[in-house]
Amino acid sequence: MSFKKTENKRLGEEYYSLDHSSGLRMIVYPKKGFNSIYATMGTRFGSVYSHFVSGGRDIIVPDGTAHYLEHKLFESEDGDAFSKYAKTGASANAYTSFDQTCYLFSCTDNFEESLGILIDLIQSPYFTDETVAKEQGIISQEIKMYDDSPDWRVMMNLLQSMYHSHPINIDIAGTVETIAKITPQVLYDCYNSYYNLHNMVLVVVGGVDPEDVLRVVDEKIKPCAPVDTRVVFPDEPYGVVRSYTEQRLPVAVSQFELGFKERYPGDFASSRDLICTSMILSAFAGESSELYRRLYDEKLINSTFGTEYLEGPGYRAVLFSGESANSVLASEMMNDAVRKLHKNGISEEDLERARKVTYGKLVAGLDNNRSIASELVNGAFTGRELFESAEAVASVTAKDINKRISEQLDPDNCCLSVVKGIE
């Protein structure tokens, strides 16, 4: 087995990929002059994968199972993975999103030993009635914490207002009631279906040699046969559920999130489409845009204002968020600006400004190990190649951008979520 090199001469960067005989996808991005190393092992399995067919079985799991499984995988019959990492000096963590679960560590020394711990962690599930029940109290507290978090509630209220049936409208951690239904068998069903090497990727970024990574994988990995697994999503209409939702929490300044639901075409966006979206958001609502200046000058937003493109299996949406003394007025001004954008398109001046900003962010991201790793994991699961984005920034035209505008930011298919202070 040998690595395939992918390089971009414009950026002066390169990385190496290999489809290991075990089924595991490996990507190594050496960074000259970097002492630190960041490694992550991810599976295409997140909170929205609650209904799937695996090995001919139709399986529905309680909400929050993917997140619960992430917690439990750190335990094994021979001890806790965090204790093992403490001995190597590595800093370890994990996260579950709507569409993936990743386990990670960063280190400056003892890399190969730490990588071995990561691989063992993934391959050593240990679930019993006692250990599963023990975790319920811990995760219940985490759920309650997020229930009181304005940042989280304003987003989840938005998603619940945008999506009728798709499980993205359900909290990643589930509820106290749903996690009480999780059993060892539920966790093993998910593990056996999605923690299959053919559904996983290992990404290592930093001061490392690809051959050193391969040597550890060859030694530690346990090959497995692929599993025929297919996620099942309910039909989701294009229209939103409601245009406005509000919640009261103890906040000093009201928070808002304005979301534009996009039609899901059945697959992931291309690198070129993603770059077009990034450039649209930069030109339309970036700090140097006319809209941003108007909102800021009228004290309808502050420095917390930002944009995000939310994309995954079965869902796409553009989000604007921040703090505002008058969220409704701010959203009305944004919708008016959206209509103007659809009518007039993007100007050449705005296009070139957005091109420079977007390219600058891409280059800056290549100096951050974690940012690179995140992009490589996403690319492995969506079929996008990392350096395609840099080439797209250089070549997209106003015609490309305006076509993308026509597909996004429908002012008649959006909703506003607001979290206000308690009166």
Output the domain CATH number for residue 59: 3.30.830.10
201 in the same domain as 161: yes
The phi, psi pair for 317, rounded to 5°, reads -160, 150
**Letter string b/e over residues 39-77, b meaning 16 or more CB atoms within 10 A of that residue's CB:** bbbbbbbbbbbbebebeeeebebbbbbbbbbbbbbbbbe
DSSP 396: -
Which pLDDT score, from 0 to 100, does residue 232 have?
97
Residue 70 is among the residues annotated as catalytic for this protein: yes
Task: At 391, list the tokens.
Answer: 């080439």
The predicted-structure confidence for 62-107, as pLDDT tens digits, reads as follows 999 999 999 999 988 777 899 999 999 999 999 999 999 999 999 9
147 in the same domain as 47: yes
Domain of residue 170, residue span: 4-231
Which pLDDT score, from 0 to 100, does residue 76 have?
81
332 in the same domain as 187: no
Which pLDDT score, from 0 to 100, does residue 385 have?
96
216 in the same domain as 117: yes
Residue stretches of the chain with pLDDT short of 50: none
122 in the same domain as 258: no
174 in the same domain as 26: yes
346 in the same domain as 316: yes
Quick check: is 339 in a domain?
yes
118 in the same domain as 149: yes
| Residue-wise DSSP of 272-289 | HHHHHHHHHHHHHHSTTS
Which pLDDT score, from 0 to 100, does residue 77 have?
79
Quick check: is 196 in a domain?
yes
Which pLDDT score, from 0 to 100, does residue 423 have?
78
DSSP 55: T
- pLDDT-above-70 percentage for the chain: 100
Residue 333 CA: distances (Å) to CA of 246, 258, 284, 343, 356 = 19, 12, 12, 15, 26
Domain termination site, one of 231, 264, 280: 231
Quick check: is 390 in a domain?
yes
Instruction: Indicate the number of domains in the chain.
Output: 2
Q: Give this prediction's pTM.
A: 0.95
Which pLDDT score, from 0 to 100, does residue 193 have?
97
295 in the same domain as 157: no
Quick check: is 236 in a domain?
no
Residue-averaged pLDDT of the chain: 95
Quick check: is 112 in a domain?
yes
Q: How far apart are CA 273 and CA 276, in angstroms?
A: 5
154 in the same domain as 98: yes
383 in the same domain as 330: yes
76 in the same domain as 131: yes
Quick check: is 239 in a domain?
no
| Residue-wise DSSP of 165-224 | SSGGGS-TT--HHHHTT--HHHHHHHHHHHS-GGGEEEEEEES--HHHHHHHHHHH----
- How many residues comprise the chain? 423
Quick check: is 238 in a domain?
no
Q: Which helix (DSSP H) or strand (DSSP E) does residue 101 occupy? A: strand 101-107
Quick check: is 237 in a domain?
no
Reported as half-sphere exposure (CB side, CA atoms, 13 A), residue 99 has a value of: 18
Domain termination site, one of 186, 201, 231: 231
Strand ranges in 207-362 using DSSP code E only, listed in sequence order: 229-231, 244-248, 255-261, 306-312, 315-323
Which of 7, 14, 70, 75 is labelled catalytic?
70
Which pLDDT score, from 0 to 100, does residue 422 have?
87
Which pLDDT score, from 0 to 100, does residue 80 have?
87
Domain termination site, one of 231, 255, 285: 231
